[in-house]
Amino acid sequence: MNVDSLLTRALDFEFLTAEEGQFLFENVPTSELMYVANELRKIQKPDGKVTWQIDRNVNTTNACIANCKFCNFFRPPGHEEVYVTAIADYKTKIEDTLRYGGDQLLLQGGHHPDLGLDFYANLFRELKTFYPNVRLHALGPPEVAHICKLEGKSHTEVLSALKESGMDSLPGAGAEILNDRVRRLISRGKCTGQEWLDVMRAAHQLDITTSATMMFGHIETLEERFEHLLWLREVQTEKPDDADGFLAFIPWPFMDDGTLLKRLRGIQNNVSADEYLRMISISRIMLPNIKNIQASWLTVGKETAQLCLHGGANDFGSIMIEENVVSAAGAPHRFTYKSIQESIRKAGFEPQLRSQDYNFREIPEGIEEQLIDY
């Protein structure tokens, strides 16, 4: 393979094969990958702004039967620490979110064996009754697949009911690595990779906006990473012309602190800053039909995330007023609405507050800065 030819094709927004992408990843210096990815970013996002968001991750429940080997957050059903978040708690969290300038809840939780479609539909309706302008970026393909199994309904039936009840968009949670060899070893209780993709296909047909993710740096091979990227790209090509489909792609490294993968199998997060930069850049190159590439400052830290903005990333994601899942595995980094903007400016870009659908927002008047105390 010829490097110059492949990079020229990439700059023309051609779809590279998995083998071609892996060849670039293994043979091209980081600076060159970053240059090409940055050129693509400038074409796709010509305003030069780096977007960011204010929302809050609220967990519906921590009860889960999926038994993911990388998750310290869940508790098995019947455990004394199991909870299901009450409406009063949602109200308190939403009021705080509004004070901090947020416009959205990211609602996710475990695979609770007793919480089906009625529970989530009623929850969404109730939240929308109290807070009609707060967006619900809710669940993820594994949770949708779990509800489908409990109810004996199709993906389309469940997603239609959730959308009608107030779900505004569907996060790309639970993708990890979509190859089932990996999933059997790290998240056996979750849906297969094919079902994850099929849930997203159904969501796009219903014009439900989604995002896509990858958690890498554990037991997967490099070939499986590129397979993952191509499957996402393929699903994006299938969306209706008037649907957004995957609005963003967010890759992040496996966080290992205290996880079963580390304790029982000795699997550690060995993803360096350089490798993360390369994954961001190659993601921009391999996914020309997904416009927004997000740098995961939560897992890699401010400095590495700032470098990513020069290597294809155009989004810093949310300040995450609350986040409990990845943090439980050792992600220590935090931002407020002021510090995230300062970080973006120091990287040489103009920060721009956005909504989940990537429409620009003005910073609300009277916004309070969150005190980081966790």
Distance CA 226, CA 20 (A): 10
Establish if 289 belongs to a structural domain: yes
Q: pTM for this one?
A: 0.94
What tokens does 244 get?
């957004």
The Cα-based distances of 294 to 2, 109, 277 in angstroms read 29, 22, 12
Give the other-Cβ count within 10 Å of 251's Cβ: 28
Give the other-Cβ count within 10 Å of 68's Cβ: 23
Q: Classify burial at 340, counting beta carbons within 10 Å of its beta carbon; exposed 0-12, middle 13-18, buried 19 or more.
A: buried
Q: What total number of domains does the chain contain? A: 1
Give the other-Cβ count within 10 Å of 371's Cβ: 8
What CATH number does residue 254 fall under?
3.20.20.70
Domain that holds residue 124: 3-353
Establish if 80 belongs to a structural domain: yes
Give the other-Cβ count within 10 Å of 266's Cβ: 8
Distance CA 189, CA 40 (A): 38
Establish if 366 belongs to a structural domain: no
With vertex at residue 165, the alpha carbon angle to CA 250 and CA 325, rounded to the nearest 5 degrees, is 35
Q: In tens digits, what is the pLDDT along the chain, a chain of 374 residues?
A: 899 999 999 999 999 999 999 999 999 999 999 999 999 999 999 999 999 999 999 999 999 988 888 787 788 888 888 899 999 999 999 999 999 999 999 999 989 999 999 999 999 999 999 999 999 999 999 999 999 999 999 999 999 999 999 999 999 999 999 999 999 998 888 999 999 999 999 999 999 999 999 999 998 999 999 999 999 999 999 999 999 999 999 999 988 777 777 776 777 778 899 999 999 999 999 999 999 999 999 899 999 999 999 999 999 999 988 755 544 444 466 789 999 999 999 999 999 999 999 999 999 988 988 776 65
Establish if 63 belongs to a structural domain: yes
What tokens does 65 get?
């039967």
Q: For residue range 161-218, list pLDDT tens digits in order.
A: 999 999 999 999 999 999 999 999 988 889 999 999 999 999 999 999 999 999 999 9
Establish if 125 belongs to a structural domain: yes
Establish if 292 belongs to a structural domain: yes
pLDDT score recorded for residue 323: 54
